[in-house]
Amino acid sequence: MDNSIKETVRGTFEQYLQSKGLRKTQERFAILDAIYSIDGHFTMEELLDVMTESRFHVSRATLYNTMELLTDAHLVIRHKFDNSSQYEKSYNMTTHFHRICMACGNVAEVRDEKLRQVIENTHSKGFAIAHTSLYMYGICSKCMAAKRRREKKLREQNNNK
């Protein structure tokens, strides 16, 4: 990711921590840097792996507490996809939507310019939109193909009896 974006995000987080009277620790900023090095969505386990790979060890408690701060500071977005939570960086991100497979849990980002424009042009009196989320649940093509293969195999087995 662009270093100027990382610097801006770092400055935003510093201001947030200062406004809340919280300490500016090396661990918090290492977590922020790791997040802004990840492309796309990530789980807490994946973030922990990134931290471990970078040889910067943080406790799970520090990781979870920092994620709460980053979410509150609007630098990270938490998504609840079905039964799992995933996160993504939010600074300087373009509007996109999520397609979630109910069979395998795969999450794909969808960019639809017409839909984005409709949402952005929707004005609610006395309400400023900070972030938009749209989740589309269904079955992906891989899972549909696997289901058809299983059904075909069952039909063949029943015909051979």
CB atoms within 10 A of CB 95: 16
Q: What is the DSSP letter of 97?
A: E
pLDDT confidence tier of residue 15, bands split at 50, 70 and 90: very high
Which whole number is the average pLDDT over 138-149? 92
pLDDT per position as a tens digit, 107-117: 888 888 888 78
Give the predicted TM-score (pTM) of the model. 0.73
Domain with CATH 3.30.1490.190 in the chain: 94-161
- Percent with pLDDT over 70 in the chain: 96
Q: Residue 152 above 70 pLDDT?
A: yes
Q: Alpha helix locations (H) across the chain? A: 3-20, 26-35, 44-53, 60-72, 113-120, 141-159
Fold of the 94-161 domain: Dna Ligase; domain 1 (3.30.1490)
Question: Tell me, what's the pLDDT at 1?
Answer: 53
pLDDT confidence tier of residue 9, bands split at 50, 70 and 90: very high
CATH class of the domain defined by 1-90: mainly alpha
Phi-psi bin for 40: left (phi > 0), alpha (psi -120 to 50), beta? left
Q: In terms of Cα–Cα distance, which of 95, 64, 72, 76 is closest to 35?
A: 76
The answer for residues whose C-beta is within 8 angstroms of residue 155's C-beta and 6 or more apart is none
Which whole number is the average pLDDT over 12-18? 96
Domain with CATH 1.10.10.10 in the chain: 1-90
The number of helices, as runs of H, and strands, as runs of E, in the chain is: 6, 5
Q: Residue 82 above 80 pLDDT?
A: no
pLDDT confidence tier of residue 105, bands split at 50, 70 and 90: confident
pLDDT per position as a tens digit, 49-58: 999 898 888 8
